[in-house]
């Protein structure tokens, strides 16, 4: 019984005056076909409008060449940089990357995961909405779909993960403010139920035990939440206002910077602001933003390489939890101009 795919290839072969094997080689091993023959077959494919039926090949091969990248929030440049790093490794391996945005919604994440399993994707890189504890994701792993956790759900056994040492990142922020001589500082971030936010706050406070640390919790890690926190801080009497603020990510810090600037509160003169991630907009801000840099593209690349290893060498692959180190990038938003030497 001929299927649509076989009939299509036969018509291409007849039209191009070559064998079925030559058409198959043009599609799967073009390097073994003479260039003029290859062009003749490609011309026949164009003229006949032949489209390869990948689902048939997927069924024979067991899985597609597609690797899914499921992120929390595509509007946050942190994730687009992670995606860029992952795509580089995925495409270098001859696979294809597809991106899904959960928008921090568990139900949307579940719908994406359901569809990706139906499509028999080769594997999934995911920053899970609830830290990798959702039953849909756990069942997908039980069904044998390779999964690598990115940035969240870290340290859970039975799967690979990549992350950054956020406690160290918080410590770098606290040490920076201590070196600058600040004695009344603040942490802006939330929700603390997010382990990465909690770790950043803990690391920050761990090096400032002898200094007053105010905490302003936000519902989200967004520019709008940063502006709201900025308004609260700006409304404090000047004597109670912190002279330095560490934000759990750059979007919060950029919102805070925007609010201070609009209220003509000098940054860093009246209040120093430090972010986290070091997205490209940090350096480009009106007052270049100091930030604790996460190696975003490296995270994405490493996650993809772990997944590719697991799919290619399942017998020898060992699950690993990779942890990268952040680094402090000091810019104008925390660095008071050095007083001119007299
Ligand atoms: O939820 C988004 C944040 O979490 C990013 O800004 C990055 O800091 C990640 O850890």
For residue 317, CA distances in Å to 127, 258, 305, 313 come to: 22, 47, 12, 6
At 244 the three-state DSSP class reads strand
Residue 245 — φ and ψ, nearest 5°?
A: -125, 125
For residue 78 and ligand 1, the question of a CB distance below 6 A is answered with yes
**pLDDT at 76 (0 to 100):** 96
Task: Over range 302-315, report the average pLDDT.
Answer: 94
CA of 269 to the centre of ligand 1 (A): 28
Please report how many Cα atoms fall inside a 13 Å half-sphere around the Cα of residue 205, on the Cβ side.
14
Residue nearest to atom 1 of ligand 1 (CA): 221
For residue 166 and ligand 1, the question of a CB distance below 6 A is answered with no
For residue 310 and ligand 1, the question of a CB distance below 6 A is answered with no
For residue 198 and ligand 1, the question of a CB distance below 6 A is answered with no
Query: In which band, very low, low, confident or very high, does the pLDDT at 240 lie, cut at 50, 70 and 90?
Result: very high
For residue 222 and ligand 1, the question of a CB distance below 6 A is answered with no
Q: Which residues contact 129 (CB under 8 A, 6 or more apart)?
A: 72, 102, 104, 105, 106, 109
For residue 151 and ligand 1, the question of a CB distance below 6 A is answered with yes
Tokens 């009497």 map to which residue?
237
CA–CA separation, 338 vs 342, rounded Å?
A: 12
Tokens 């900025």 map to which residue?
230
Bin 104: left if φ > 0, else alpha if -120 < ψ < 50, else beta: left
**pLDDT at 207 (0 to 100):** 97
Query: In which band, very low, low, confident or very high, does the pLDDT at 341 lie, cut at 50, 70 and 90?
Result: very low
- Whether 54 shows a pLDDT value over 90: the answer reads no
CA of 251 to the centre of ligand 1 (A): 9
Which of 131, 197, 221, 298 is the best mutation target for the ligand 1 pocket, counting ligand atoms within 8 Å of the beta carbon and taking the most?
221
CA–CA separation, 237 vs 57, rounded Å?
A: 68
For residue 276 and ligand 1, the question of a CB distance below 6 A is answered with yes
Task: Over range 166-195, report the average pLDDT.
Answer: 95
Query: In which band, very low, low, confident or very high, does the pLDDT at 141 lie, cut at 50, 70 and 90?
Result: confident
For residue 196 and ligand 1, the question of a CB distance below 6 A is answered with yes
**pLDDT at 5 (0 to 100):** 62
Mean pLDDT, rounded, of the chain: 91
CA–CA separation, 90 vs 72, rounded Å?
A: 20
**pLDDT at 129 (0 to 100):** 92
Bin 160: left if φ > 0, else alpha if -120 < ψ < 50, else beta: beta
At 216 the three-state DSSP class reads strand
CA of 302 to the centre of ligand 1 (A): 17
Which of 79, 193, 295 is the best mutation target for the ligand 1 pocket, counting ligand atoms within 8 Å of the beta carbon and taking the most?
79
**pLDDT at 288 (0 to 100):** 98
Tens-digit pLDDT profile for residues 295-305:
999 999 999 99
What 127-131 contacts at long range (C-beta under 8 Å, 24+ apart), as own/partner pairs, is 127/70, 127/71, 127/72, 127/79, 127/82, 127/151, 127/152, 128/70, 128/152, 128/153, 129/72, 129/102, 129/104, 129/105, 130/106, 131/195
Q: What is the pTM of this model?
A: 0.82
CA–CA separation, 145 vs 336, rounded Å?
A: 51
Task: Over range 24-43, report the average pLDDT.
Answer: 86
**pLDDT at 20 (0 to 100):** 87
**pLDDT at 24 (0 to 100):** 81
Both structure tokens of 220: 């989200």
Query: Per mean pLDDT, which range of 61-65, 68-72, 132-136 is the poorest?
Result: 61-65
Query: In which band, very low, low, confident or very high, does the pLDDT at 57 lie, cut at 50, 70 and 90?
Result: low
For residue 79 and ligand 1, the question of a CB distance below 6 A is answered with no
Bin 54: left if φ > 0, else alpha if -120 < ψ < 50, else beta: alpha
**pLDDT at 1 (0 to 100):** 54
Q: Which residues contact 340 (CB under 8 A, 6 or more apart)?
A: none
- Whether 18 shows a pLDDT value over 80: the answer reads yes
**pLDDT at 143 (0 to 100):** 86
Both structure tokens of 91: 């495409």
Q: What are the start-end ranges of the H helices in 93-165? A: 106-118, 135-142
Tens-digit pLDDT profile for residues 244-266:
999 999 999 999 999 999 999 99
Task: Over range 203-229, report the average pLDDT.
Answer: 96
**pLDDT at 130 (0 to 100):** 84
Q: Is 60 exposed, middle or buried (0-12, 13-18, 19+ CB in 10 A)?
A: exposed
Q: Which atom of ligand 1 is nearest to the CA of 151?
A: 10
Residue nearest to atom 8 of ligand 1 (CA): 249
Tens-digit pLDDT profile for residues 66-112:
999 999 999 999 999 999 999 999 999 999 999 999 999 999 999 99
């Amino acid at each position: 019984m001929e299927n649509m795919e076989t009939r299509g290839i036969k018509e291409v072969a007849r039209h191009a005056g070559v064998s079925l094997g030559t058409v198959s080689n043009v599609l799967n091993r073009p390097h073994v076909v003479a260039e003029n023959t290859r062009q003749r077959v490609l011309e026949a494919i164009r003229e006949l409008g032949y489209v390869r039926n990948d689902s048939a090949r997927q069924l024979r091969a067991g899985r597609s060449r597609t690797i899914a990248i499921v992120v929390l929030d595509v509007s946050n440049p942190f994730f687009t940089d992670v995606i860029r790093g992952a795509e580089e490794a995925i495409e270098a391996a001859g696979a294809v990357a597809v991106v899904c945005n959960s928008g921090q919604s568990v139900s949307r994440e579940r719908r994406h995961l359901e569809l990706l399993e139906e499509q028999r994707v080769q594997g999934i890189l995911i920053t899970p909405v609830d830290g990798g504890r959702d039953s849909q994701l756990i069942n997908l792993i039980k069904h044998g779909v390779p999964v690598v956790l990115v940035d969240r759900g870290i340290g859970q056994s039975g799967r690979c993960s990549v992350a950054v040492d956020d406690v160290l990142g918080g410590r770098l922020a606290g040490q920076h403010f201590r070196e600058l001589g600040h004695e009344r500082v603040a942490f802006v971030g939330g929700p603390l139920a997010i382990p990465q936010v909690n770790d950043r706050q803990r690391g920050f406070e761990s090096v400032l035990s002898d200094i007053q640390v105010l905490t302003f919790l936000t519902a989200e890690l967004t520019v709008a939440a940063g502006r709201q926190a900025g308004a609260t801080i700006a409304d404090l009497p000047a004597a109670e206002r912190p002279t330095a603020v560490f934000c759990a990510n750059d979007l919060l810090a950029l919102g805070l910077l925007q609010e201070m600037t609009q209220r003509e509160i000098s940054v860093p003169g009246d209040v120093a602001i430090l972010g986290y991630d070091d997205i490209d907009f940090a350096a480009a801000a009106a007052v270049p933003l100091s930030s604790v840099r996460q190696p975003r593209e490296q995270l994405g690349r490493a996650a993809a390489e772990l997944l590719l290893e697991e799919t290619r060498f399942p017998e020898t692959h060992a699950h690993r939890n990779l942890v990268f180190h952040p680094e402090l990038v000091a810019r104008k938003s925390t660095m008071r101009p050095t007083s001119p030497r007299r």
